[in-house]
């Protein structure tokens, strides 16, 4: 693990920077609505378009990373993210009606995002032979991802104090930092560029075979990953609006309050990655208990609560989500053969992006009627995740020699 420390630090910078580049826009959305005169639903699409594009392209990037190498996909993708951020920043700075061009910039960022963070997961899987080390490495990556979520509302709010579109300006800078770290610190996996990489037809056949043997638990992990992200981004979007509209908290103080549930999520994610090791049964229980915790907490949320109780319940939900994420990452990475790891984890990442894309607009639509409906829905989805985990993720007692998976 120590020999790969700098590789992990460089790879961890990708989810950290990518999350900052996306989530730090959330506290700025109400301000953006006023500055460029758009609706709450239109502002939610600034988050969603990024994810929708990524959903479509992530499986392609996963296949390409298996075929031509991880770094050869990651570095150009990060550069595209930077270009997209620059386009959005220029539009906000120079144009009278910048919304469409901002969306084009976010579209480009989504293209780049498809080949960045989703490729990190299989890269970590390639770096280690022991499952315990893979779990620890993935725990670090997921912690960096959640740390980005903690810092993003604070950083976004602070940057917006300077000028509302400053978060867009930060995106190219953050992308270049990750490019340099990956370029210089991440050693190219041995299989990169080697012959024997399957053709597209062989790749499709391999994916079909993987789903034939592991379809039930794979689909379960995909759906749970999507649900967790929908729940997280749904309540963050509403919480951001509530802090301004109801509690009249703005600026960096809003960012600090918004970061509290995410801080608990980050801590839970770090501890979960440390504790699960290679114990698949423990992973299952963490996912079950984590989603149950989120479901119970969210069920009792009401938009007329005092701020302390509201934040406490969202923090409890954050703990549940944080405990689950590293377990899903580990199951999907350790349970799939190396040759198909990039492709299968890319589908998992796509499902997470589906949740990211759906959360804000769903919350925005329900806010028009009754904000409490948001939390009934999110609690219900978390309960569905509990049922799916119980029914479909069942660790095997032994590994079969002919197959990598350890769950049935």
Query: Does some domain include residue 407?
Result: no
Query: Does some domain include residue 176?
Result: yes
Helix 307-334 with 372-392: angle, nearest 10 deg: 30
pLDDT of residue 190: 59
Sequence-separated (6 or more) residues with CB below 8 Å from residue 37:
none
Query: Does some domain include residue 256?
Result: yes
pLDDT of residue 401: 37
Q: In 24-165, which residue ranges form alpha helices assigned H by DSSP? A: 29-36, 40-68, 70-94, 99-114, 117-127, 131-162
Instruction: Of 267, 61, 82, give the one whose Cα is nearest residue 179.
Output: 82
Q: Which two tokens stand for residue 148?
A: 């980005």
Sequence-separated (6 or more) residues with CB below 8 Å from residue 129:
none
Count of residues in the chain: 408
Query: Does some domain include residue 310?
Result: yes
Query: Does some domain include residue 399?
Result: no
For residue 272, CA distances in Å to 17, 90, 184 come to 22, 41, 30
Which residue range(s) make up the domain with 26?
Answer: 2-185+196-392
In whole angstroms, give the CA distance from residue 222 to residue 389. 11
Per-residue pLDDT 10s for the chain (408 aa) are 567 888 899 999 998 888 888 889 988 998 999 999 999 899 989 988 988 898 888 888 888 887 888 899 999 999 999 999 999 999 999 999 999 999 999 999 999 998 887 888 888 888 877 777 877 787 788 788 878 888 898 999 899 989 999 999 999 999 999 999 999 998 865 554 444 556 667 667 777 777 777 788 999 999 999 999 999 999 999 999 999 889 999 888 998 999 999 999 989 988 998 898 878 899 999 999 999 999 999 999 998 899 999 999 999 999 999 999 999 988 887 777 766 676 788 788 889 888 988 999 999 999 988 999 999 999 999 999 999 999 999 876 444 433 444 455
User: Are the beta carbons of 345 and 333 closer than 8 angstroms?
Assistant: yes
In whole angstroms, give the CA distance from residue 192 to residue 205. 21
For residue 244, CA distances in Å to 76, 238, 250, 259, 262 come to 38, 10, 6, 15, 18
Query: Does some domain include residue 152?
Result: yes
In whole angstroms, give the CA distance from residue 225 to residue 223. 5
Number of folded domains that form the chain: 1
User: Are the beta carbons of 356 and 249 closer than 8 angstroms?
Assistant: no
pLDDT of residue 191: 54
Q: What one-character DSSP code corresponds to residue 247? A: S
Phi-psi region of 332 (alpha: psi -120 to 50; beta: other; left: phi over 0): alpha
Query: Does some domain include residue 357?
Result: yes
Q: Which two tokens stand for residue 201?
A: 């037809």
Is this prediction's pTM over 0.85?
no
pLDDT of residue 303: 85
Query: Does some domain include residue 405?
Result: no
CATH number at residue 165: 1.20.1250.20
Helix 99-114 with 5-23: angle, nearest 10 deg: 160
């Amino acid at each position: 693990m120590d020999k790969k420390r700098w590789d992990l630090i460089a790879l961890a910078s990708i989810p950290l920077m990518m999350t900052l580049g996306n989530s730090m826009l959330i506290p700025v959305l109400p301000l953006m609505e006023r500055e460029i005169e758009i609706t709450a639903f239109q502002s939610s699409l600034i988050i969603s378009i990024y994810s929708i594009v990524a959903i479509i392209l992530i499986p392609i990037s996963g296949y390409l990373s298996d075929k031509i190498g991880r770094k050869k996909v990651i570095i150009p993708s990060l550069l595209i993210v930077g270009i997209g951020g620059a386009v959005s920043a220029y539009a906000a700075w120079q144009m009278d009606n910048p919304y469409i061009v901002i969306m084009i910039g976010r579209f480009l960022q989504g293209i780049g995002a498809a080949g960045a963070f989703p490729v990190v997961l299989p890269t970590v899987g390639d770096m280690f032979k022991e499952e315990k080390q893979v779990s620890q490495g993935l725990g670090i990556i997921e912690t960096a991802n959640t740390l980005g979520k903690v810092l993003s509302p604070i950083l976004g709010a602070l940057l917006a104090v300077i000028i509302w579109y400053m978060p867009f300006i930060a995106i190219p800078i953050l992308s270049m930092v990750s490019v340099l770290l990956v370029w210089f610190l991440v050693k190219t996996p041995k299989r990169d560029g080697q012959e024997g990489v399957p053709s597209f037809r062989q790749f499709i056949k391999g994916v079909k075979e993987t789903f034939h043997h592991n379809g039930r638990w794979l689909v379960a992990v995909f759906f749970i990953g999507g649900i967790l992200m929908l729940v997280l981004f749904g309540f963050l979007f509403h919480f951001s609006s509530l802090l301004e509209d109801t509690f009249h908290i703005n600026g960096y103080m809003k960012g600090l309050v918004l970061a509290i549930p995410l801080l608990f999520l980050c801590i839970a994610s770090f501890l979960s990655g440390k504790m699960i090791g290679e114990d698949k049964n423990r992973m299952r229980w963490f996912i079950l208990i984590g989603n149950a915790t989120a479901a119970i907490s969210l069920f009792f949320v009401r938009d007329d609560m005092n701020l302390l109780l509201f934040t406490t319940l969202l923090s409890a939900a954050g703990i549940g989500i944080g405990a689950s994420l590293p377990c899903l990452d580990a199951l999907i990475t350790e349970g799939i053969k190396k040759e198909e790891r990039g492709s299968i984890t890319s589908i998992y990442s796509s499902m997470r992006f589906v949740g990211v894309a759906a959360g804000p607009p769903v919350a925005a639509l329900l806010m028009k009627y009754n904000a409490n409906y948001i939390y009934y829905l999110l609690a219900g989805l978390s309960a569905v995740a509990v049922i799916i985990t119980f029914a479909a993720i069942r660790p095997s007692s032994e590994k079969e020699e002919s197959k990598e998976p350890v769950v049935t």
